[in-house]
Structures are given as structure tokens and as C-alpha cells.
Amino acid sequence: MHDLAGSTIIHSTGGWALLAALLIVGARTGRYTKEGGVRVIPASNIPLVTLGALLLWIGWFGFNGGSVGSIASKEDAHLVSLVILNTNTAGFAGAIAVAIMMYIMYKKFDITMILNGGLGGLVSITAAADV
């Protein structure tokens, strides 16, 4: 099995830790109604959410590109450039896919959902960014 940047370890560990915390702490206060329905909690600071997502996106270049190990040879430098290109393409593909699905389903766009789609694309490429 090939995993360039440790995606399985990093994202699986984070997911299991989140599940354990959720089971211990419980759901966010005010998230569910007494009848069991979901209550939408509106975003409070869209510019800060956007900045955070874009900083994560930029950091992903260093994370995936740095996982190659070195750029001492021409082949390694080519591999780093391929990894960064694939990382960016996956992020954009995730964001565009969510934007298209949101427009088809709701006839409007939601920046927080589009940013989450981009981050989902980045997560999905972490294991095989060099392929």
C-alpha cells in the first residue's frame, strides 16, 4: 500500500479522536431540538472561516510537498512539483464539485460549503499526491 504523506495515520487518528470526544462530551449545545430535529447554527464570521481555509490550503502544499523528503535531484524536484500540482487540483476539484452540487440542489452558493469541499479534496489527495 502506498501512502505518501501519512494520510491514513493522520486523518484516521483525527477521526477516531473526534469520535471519542463526541461520545464523551456529547453534541454541541443547541444543535438539536427536543423533538430530535437538527437546528442549523449560522456561521458567525465568514471572512475568518475563509482565511482559515485558505491558510490550511497553503499549508497543504508544504505538508504534501515536504513529504517527498528532498529536492536534491532533478527527479525529486519534478516529484515535488507534481505533488503540489496534484494537491492544488484536488482542492479545486472538491470546491468546484460542491459548488456545482449546491447550485443544482439549492440554486445558490454557500462559501462555507465550497470551502469544506476544497478541504475535502485536499484530504482525499494526501495519500496519493505523487501518483
- Domains: count for the chain: 1
Query: Has residue 131 been placed in a domain?
Result: no
Query: Has residue 83 been placed in a domain?
Result: yes
pLDDT tens digit sequence for 5-46 = 777 888 889 999 999 999 999 888 888 888 989 988 888 899
Query: Has residue 12 been placed in a domain?
Result: yes
Query: Has residue 64 been placed in a domain?
Result: yes
Do residues 109 and 103 lie in contact, with contact meaning Cβ atoms separated by under 8 Å? yes
pLDDT tens digit sequence for 36-94 = 899 888 888 999 999 999 999 999 999 999 888 888 889 889 999 999 999 999 999 99
Query: Has residue 26 been placed in a domain?
Result: yes
- 36: cell is 430530535
Determine if the pTM surpasses 0.75: yes
Task: Name beta bridge partners: 38.
Answer: 32
Query: Has residue 31 been placed in a domain?
Result: yes
pLDDT tens digit sequence for 90-122 = 999 999 999 999 999 999 999 999 999 999 999
Do residues 117 and 99 lie in contact, with contact meaning Cβ atoms separated by under 8 Å? yes
Look at the alpha carbons of 110, 116, 117, 122 in this order and tell me if their dihedral is positive or negative.
positive
Query: Has residue 130 been placed in a domain?
Result: no
Query: Has residue 35 been placed in a domain?
Result: yes
Q: Which helix (H) or strand (E) holds 121?
A: helix 111-125
Do residues 3 and 127 lie in contact, with contact meaning Cβ atoms separated by under 8 Å? yes
Contacts of 93 (CB under 8 A, 6+ apart): 121
What pLDDT score was predicted for residue 57?
Answer: 97
What pLDDT score was predicted for residue 103?
Answer: 98
Contacts of 57 (CB under 8 A, 6+ apart): 91, 118, 119, 122
What pLDDT score was predicted for residue 1?
Answer: 62
Residue 3's pLDDT band (boundaries 50, 70, 90)?
confident
State the residue range of the domain holding 120. Answer: 7-125
